[in-house]
Amino acid sequence: MLCRAALSPLVRSPGWCFVLSPHAIAAISRLYLPYHTQRLRNESIRCWSNIPFITMPLSRAHGKSFAHRSELKHAKRIVVKLGSAVVTRGDECGLALGRLASIVEQVSVLQNQGREMMIVTSGAVAFGKQRLRHEILLSQSVRQALHSGQSQLKDMAIPVLEARACAAAGQSGLMALYEAMFTQYSICAAQILVTNLDFHDEQKRRNLNGTLHELLRMNIVPIINTNDAVVPPPEPNSDLQGVISVKDNDSLAARLAVEMKTDLLIVLSDVEGLFDSPPGSDDAKLIDIFYPGDQQSVTFGTKSRVGMGGMEAKVKAALWALQGGTSVVIANGTHPKISGHVITDIVDGKKVGTFFSEVKPAGPTVEQQAEMARTGGRTLAALQPEQRAEIICRLADLLTDQREEILLANKKDLEEAENKGRLALPLLKRLSLSTSKLNSLAIGLRQIAASSQDSVGRVIRRTRIAKDLELEQVTVPIGVLLVIFESRPDCLPQVSALAIASGNGLLLKGGKEAAYSNQILHHLTQEALSIHGVKDAVQLVNTREEVEDLCRLDKLIDLIIPRGSSQLVRDIQKAAKGIPVMGHSEGICHVYVDTDASVEKVTRIIRDSKCEYPAACNALETLLIHRDLLRTPLFDQIIDMLRVEQVKIHAGPKFASYLTFSPSEVKSLRTEYGDLECCIEVVDSVQEAVEHIHKYGSSHTDVIITENEKTAQFFLQHVDSACVFWNASTRFSDGYRFGLGAEVGISTSRIHARGPVGIEGLLTTKWLLRGDNHVVSDFSEHGSMKYLHESLPLPQRNTS
């Protein structure tokens, strides 16, 4: 075993064995740790001699691997294995410096969080090959220039380079590169070269173990590699009983991880992870979680373009490490879009690569649920409209018949939420179910059933392209919907009914605060679906899947609909890559009181808009008042009513300027309070009201109160929001109140569905062309046919 500590160009020893004196320790302290001094006051400190080290509250009893990805954030000791394909360039001569720098940065971030990082690296052979090729070319060019002239330089041949010689030439350069990169983050690195004998000899094993523990204790990152300059060729089938033989860096990383009782082993290669068949084949699917015993279901392909081990070697090493109590993730370290954060994403518990786990979940994975929802949705869409309506009516009956069980489950959720104190009062109100809510739900569902008779397969356009060639555009389901909702168990049957009516498969992800309520409501939904054998069309995600991970399933999910806080919606819009998101991030609704407003209407509409349900997204948040109404009896009535209703008032900048003693001035005019609070601002005209709404609103719902029809028409025409009302409460912005039966949400985006989204918003179209031996060449300049493009009457809609 050879060891060299990379401390600093000023204090590095030229030899391979490095002994630290107290003076050297003090020097290291002065050189590398001054940047920590500001953080020491707020973070826990680990001391070795008199040197402080930043630490994290990370510790667990080693012996059992993590069961779920979400637990990986608790990993303290981590080994990162860099495959040859990750470290080297595509031409296999030289290092991929950009990737290597990114990996060093990520390892440094984790090391500075207080984790203990180790790197098992390849790359010495490639780096040495680059150096030796350069030396050979230089030598040959000099000789040939002297004897043959420049004309023969292009014909020079480079001999095949022996790997051991390349490794010997590349080791020092590779380590120097790591030293330079880690120094940028004030981190020390140490190189350790090992061979198989270092693990088979008990004394050498103890020496290696002691060296690594000492380096970790000193906050140094060990960089380990097989000593390829002297290592013999690997012997086939040389594993001992219960021990993995070090044949390549995969087996080295696994052996090292178990020897050092490591929490996590990250194996970076040039593939995304483990596939159920060779990557690149038509049916290859990435395996998210791999369990011991699943090897039989996997077909291994060829090994990577460089390096000693292929995927089969990686899986063998990973399973051996897993058996030894170390969690393992195999991921892609070469993809330009993810390599810059792949290591930190894995430690954060994000769905990257293949996670090896000994704990197999009882139910299907979310990918399997999405496939089931798609298959079930297609079967659902093929049913007769009366059959889909029958399912929805059955669900409506179950909501009332099983109300006692539903309310009992909801009571459990409410009690847990209140005991833990994790929900604000508005969210508790959303979480609560009641008999009246269930009755309203049942009525809404029956309304959906009645109005959905010809939703799927409805012809919306017919065109005669030419003689005996007719084109139809018909409505079809979007596919698989992912609806993510918080604290709203009543959302589950509503959305399920709309998905059933529109023939869509559905994935539901509810908040854990409504777990009991969601479980029984989903059970009742599947019971209703079972009457026509489509139980799998609606799936409830119960796994510990992060929302961000669900948003990456772009090959399985066609549309995401978030229902919850503005922060949830923004997070989903940011996380969704390649999947459209339908919804609104904020509900900043305005009511503008015009000079010609009716005294009787103003207080009623404002009270209903703000106080009827202040937590709703369609509740009033900003009240705009025409300047001429200040200090009038109408203005006083508005203020008195808000005070009686205990609404906290925030003054806008212009409103505050008119007052001697004003309420607290608003921090932002773009605020959704979601409670008994609102902002009051003054405007000079309806035009200024429209401009204010466009600048500070969220395109949700905005209202004008006036008796002047001309002013009202100007407001209705010019306000660019999803819902614009005249002399009506903002609270009417709702699918049930619009007669849609229910809604999957309110959309403020500019896609096909806007405002409250019912069945129509969950449909798209496809084109059906019926011909008789028609070909495009018949319509050419000298062809026998001509385009007609005649509009044809649509079939009569079923309105029964």
Mean of pLDDT over the chain: 84
CA separation, residue 742 to residues 69, 368, 588 (Å): 36, 28, 22
pTM of the full predicted structure? 0.75
In this prediction, residues 569-583 reach a mean pLDDT of 86
More confident residue, 175 or 767: 767
- Give the closest residue to 714 by CA, choosing from 533, 592, 535: 592
- H or E stretch covering 161: none
798 within 8 A of 454, measured Cβ to Cβ:
yes
Judged against a pLDDT cut of 70, whether residue 770 lies above it is answered with: yes
Give the model's pLDDT for residue 385: 94
pLDDT by residue (tens digit) across 409-464?
999 999 998 888 777 777 788 899 999 999 999 999 999 999 888 889 999 999 99
Q: Given pLDDT bands bounded at 50, 70 and 90, which one contains residue 8?
A: very low
Judged against a pLDDT cut of 50, whether residue 33 lies above it is answered with: no
pLDDT by residue (tens digit) across 339-395?
789 999 999 998 899 999 988 877 788 888 999 999 999 999 999 999 999 999 999
Q: Range with the lowest mean pLDDT among 48-52, 346-350, 466-470, 764-768?
A: 48-52
How far from each other are the two terminal CA atoms of the chain, in whole angstroms? 85
Residue ranges of alpha helices (H) inside 324-477 are 342-347, 366-382, 385-401, 403-420, 425-431, 435-451
Q: Given pLDDT bands bounded at 50, 70 and 90, which one contains residue 25?
A: very low
pLDDT by residue (tens digit) across 134-146?
677 777 665 565 5
Q: Given pLDDT bands bounded at 50, 70 and 90, which one contains residue 4?
A: low
Judged against a pLDDT cut of 70, whether residue 322 lies above it is answered with: yes
In this prediction, residues 475-497 reach a mean pLDDT of 93
Distance of CA 59 to the CA centre of its chain: 27
Give the model's pLDDT for residue 23: 38
Distance of CA 482 to the CA centre of its chain: 13
Distance of alpha carbon 340 from alpha carbon 101, whole angstroms: 9
pLDDT by residue (tens digit) across 169-179?
778 888 888 99
Distance of alpha carbon 616 from alpha carbon 632, whole angstroms: 31
Q: Given pLDDT bands bounded at 50, 70 and 90, which one contains residue 597?
A: very high
**Residue 327 bridge partners (DSSP):** 264
- Cβ neighbourhood burial of 352 (10 Å; 0-12, 13-18, 19+): buried
663 within 8 A of 651, measured Cβ to Cβ:
yes
DSSP state at residue 551:
T
Judged against a pLDDT cut of 70, whether residue 155 lies above it is answered with: no
Q: Given pLDDT bands bounded at 50, 70 and 90, which one contains residue 1?
A: low
Distance of alpha carbon 545 from alpha carbon 538, whole angstroms: 17
Structure tokens at 580: 């459209």
More confident residue, 553 or 230: 553
Structure tokens at 767: 């084109």
DSSP letters spanning 745-788: EEE-SSSS--EEE-SGGGEEEEEEEE-SS--GGGGSTTSS----
Question: Which residue, chain included where needed, has tokens 């030419």?
Answer: 466
In this prediction, residues 672-688 reach a mean pLDDT of 95
Structure tokens at 390: 């029958």
Give the model's pLDDT for residue 286: 85
Give the model's pLDDT for residue 49: 31
More confident residue, 407 or 274: 407
More confident residue, 12 or 394: 394
488 within 8 A of 613, measured Cβ to Cβ:
no
Judged against a pLDDT cut of 60, whether residue 37 lies above it is answered with: no
pLDDT by residue (tens digit) across 56-72?
445 555 568 898 898 99
Distance of alpha carbon 701 from alpha carbon 590, whole angstroms: 7
- H or E stretch covering 3: strand 2-6
Q: Given pLDDT bands bounded at 50, 70 and 90, which one contains residue 477?
A: very high
502 within 8 A of 456, measured Cβ to Cβ:
yes
Structure tokens at 334: 């070469």
Q: Given pLDDT bands bounded at 50, 70 and 90, which one contains residue 746?
A: confident
- Give the closest residue to 537 by CA, choosing from 670, 391, 644: 391
23 within 8 A of 10, measured Cβ to Cβ:
no
Query: Please, what's the largest Cα pairwise distance for the chain?
Result: 108
Most confident among 19-33, 238-252, 560-574, 778-792 (mean pLDDT): 778-792
- Cβ neighbourhood burial of 123 (10 Å; 0-12, 13-18, 19+): buried
CA atoms within 13 A on the CB side of 623: 27
**Residue 704 bridge partners (DSSP):** 592, 726
In this prediction, residues 649-658 reach a mean pLDDT of 93
In this prediction, residues 30-42 reach a mean pLDDT of 38
pLDDT by residue (tens digit) across 200-258?
888 988 999 999 999 999 999 999 988 776 766 555 444 434 444 555 788 889 999 99
More confident residue, 388 or 311: 388
What single-letter amino acid sits at 799? T
Give the model's pLDDT for residue 655: 94
Give the model's pLDDT for residue 15: 38
The neighbour count for residue 156, using CB atoms within 10 Å, is: 12
DSSP letters spanning 80-118: EEE-HHHHB-TTSSSB-HHHHHHHHHHHHHHHHTT-EEE
In this prediction, residues 666-671 reach a mean pLDDT of 93
Judged against a pLDDT cut of 70, whether residue 626 lies above it is answered with: yes
Give the model's pLDDT for residue 564: 78
Helix/strand/coil (H/E/C) assignment for every residue in 685-703: CHHHHHHHHHHHCCCCEEE
Report the b/e string of 79-100 with b at 16+ CB within 10 A.
bbbbbbbbbbbeeebbbbeebb
DSSP state at residue 376:
H
pLDDT by residue (tens digit) across 788-800?
999 999 987 665 5
Question: Which residue, chain included where needed, has tokens 């392209």?
Answer: 465
Judged against a pLDDT cut of 90, whether residue 163 lies above it is answered with: no
Give the model's pLDDT for residue 198: 80
Would you say the C-alpha torsion 526, 528, 530, 536 has a positive or negative sign? negative
Give the model's pLDDT for residue 731: 96
**% of residues, the chain, pLDDT over 90:** 52
